[in-house]
Amino acid sequence: MKRSSLLFAALCLTAVAISAPTARAAGTVKIGVLMPLTGNAAAAGQAAKAAIEVATDIVNNAHPELGNLPLAATAGLPNLGGAKIDVVFVDHQGNPSTAQQLATQLITQDKVNALLGAYQSSCTFTATPVAERYGIPFMVGDSAALNITTRGFKYVFRATPIATDYARTYMRFFADMKKQGKKIDSIAIVNENTDYGTSVGDAIEAEAKKDNMPVAIRIPYSASSTDVSAQVLQLKEKNPDVVIFISYTADSILYMKTMKSLDYKPQMILGDDSGFSDPSFIPAINDIAQGVMNRSAWAIGKPGSTTDEINQMYKAKTGRDLDDTSARNMQAFFALADAINRAGSTDPEKIRTALAATDLKPDQLMMGYQGIKYDSTGQNILAATYLIQLQGKQYQLVWPETAATAALQWPMRGAAQ
């Protein structure tokens, strides 16, 4: 009895001894993260939260195995005397007005040094002006709407590629395929009709027009549809060579299943991330939609690579592979942490200056961007994306060829043999 209580006391003391110096050594840097942790986009918000928690672990603790990734090898932020990053998560529930209120709360009550968020463009629209008003840097992790960065804000930065980048990538890919003799005479655009699908769909349609690529049909639809046979029949009738889907999770799975059951298979299906990157997607459709392509700037990579290590950490935490949407949020977090470290201070003005001066090279990134460098609006001009293809039970990087890890299969196979 006595012994065990002694042991307990000793354990407590060690715990205190271990935790005390790290917690108080160099103060902390606070980053507020706004995500939809409940509501309709909860799945994406929760995944992004887990990814940012992994990223925090990577920055705060020594991870020499992660190669050139800035701040991984050291514990904490070296230029701030090894200060740790303390992340405060809040749930804006997908409600723009709540997002605005929470941004105020994070800035004035939690005294965060920077913000990251907010998934839905609507919530980013209302949260960023608060940050601008208080002069707190706001890193947009993943919001599609183009005009988030075109409002003349000084404190808003976006590391992720945006709709026009994706659209251009697709057009370059099509041009490349045509050069190889593949037949792409027309495409179809199928987009869910909220801000994400509409932004990306519009961008693709505009770029296709520029490239003289005929758009056989454009089908906007509601992501909560319980049945998509009518849309699939429309596609079947127009019979385009490539169908681009800008879809969320349930609807993208539903499309694949419905196309299978209505016996329709175009030359190629190209998913625009989101639903196609949801970890629920592959197991649901992998025996009926072999060869389906997807946009992603994230690739798990070869065993032992930095990206593979990161994926292992994420998988240990959540039991699922890291998806592109969450990975882009994670990359945004790293870019923000790197800027704070270079600022050498928690002063928002200095962080802003450091962010504006960001110049990260491809080997310092976990994503397949050509780098991170912001233009005067705060948009990353070196953002790029890969195209990946479902082969077996995993996506393989197939385009651009310089980065490819597997050969592209064209046309897509559909059902697994």
- Interacting span for other proteins (CB under 8 A) from 76-84, 280-288, 306-314, 356-364: 280-288
By the rule CB under 8 A, 277 interacts with other proteins: no
By the rule CB under 8 A, 171 interacts with other proteins: no
| Residues 85-124, interacting with other proteins (CB under 8 A) | 88-91, 93, 95-98, 100-102, 104-105, 108-109, 121-122
The only residue of 113, 149, 169, 249 in contact with other proteins, by rule CB under 8 A: 249
By the rule CB under 8 A, 154 interacts with other proteins: no
**Letter for the amino acid at 191?**
N
CB of 215 to other proteins, least distance (A): 14
By the rule CB under 8 A, 239 interacts with other proteins: no
The only residue of 126, 160, 341, 380 in contact with other proteins, by rule CB under 8 A: 126
Please state, in angstroms and as integers, the Cα–Cα distance from residue 379 to each residue in 253, 349, 360, following that order: 32, 18, 14
The only residue of 67, 78, 82, 129 in contact with other proteins, by rule CB under 8 A: 129
Our CB check for other proteins shows the closer of 149 and 311 to be 149
Size of the site for other proteins (CB under 8 A): 77
The only residue of 284, 356, 403, 406 in contact with other proteins, by rule CB under 8 A: 284
The only residue of 14, 61, 68, 147 in contact with other proteins, by rule CB under 8 A: 147
By the rule CB under 8 A, 376 interacts with other proteins: no
| Residues 8-37, interacting with other proteins (CB under 8 A) | 35, 37
CB of 129 to other proteins, least distance (A): 6
Lookup: tokens for 278: 């949801």
Neighbours of 60 (CB within 10 A): 23
Residue 306-345 contact track with other proteins, rule CB under 8 A, x = bound: --------------x-------------------------
Q: How far apart are the first and last CA of the chain?
A: 65
Our CB check for other proteins shows the closer of 376 and 402 to be 376
CB of 335 to other proteins, least distance (A): 23
By the rule CB under 8 A, 247 interacts with other proteins: no
- Interacting span for other proteins (CB under 8 A) from 14-22, 203-211, 215-223, 391-399: 215-223
The only residue of 227, 302, 316, 376 in contact with other proteins, by rule CB under 8 A: 227
The only residue of 57, 65, 185, 287 in contact with other proteins, by rule CB under 8 A: 287
Q: Is 380:360 a contact under the CB 8 Å cutoff?
A: no
Residue 90 CA to residue 161 CA, distance in Å, equals 24
Residue 137 CA to residue 122 CA, distance in Å, equals 18
By the rule CB under 8 A, 384 interacts with other proteins: no
Helix (H) or strand (E) holding 273: none
Our CB check for other proteins shows the closer of 69 and 156 to be 156
Locus of tokens 């392509």: 293
Lookup: tokens for 44: 């994406």
Is the backbone peptide bond immediately before 400 cis, with ω within 30 degrees of 0? yes
Residues whose CB falls within 8 Å of the CB of residue 155, separated by 6 or more in sequence, listed in order: 128, 131, 132, 135, 136, 137, 138, 348, 352
Please state, in angstroms and as integers, the Cα–Cα distance from residue 306 to each residue in 65, 78, 296, 330, 362, following that order: 7, 21, 17, 14, 13
By the rule CB under 8 A, 391 interacts with other proteins: no
By the rule CB under 8 A, 152 interacts with other proteins: yes
How many helices (H) and strands (E) would you count in the chain? 12, 12
By the rule CB under 8 A, 49 interacts with other proteins: yes
Strands (E) in 134-252, as ranges, are 138-140, 156-158, 187-192, 215-221, 242-246
Residue 239 CA to residue 416 CA, distance in Å, equals 22
CA angle at 131 for the pair 130 and 132, rounded to the nearest 5° = 90
Locus of tokens 């393989």: 396
Residue 172-211 contact track with other proteins, rule CB under 8 A, x = bound: ---------------------xxx-xxx------------
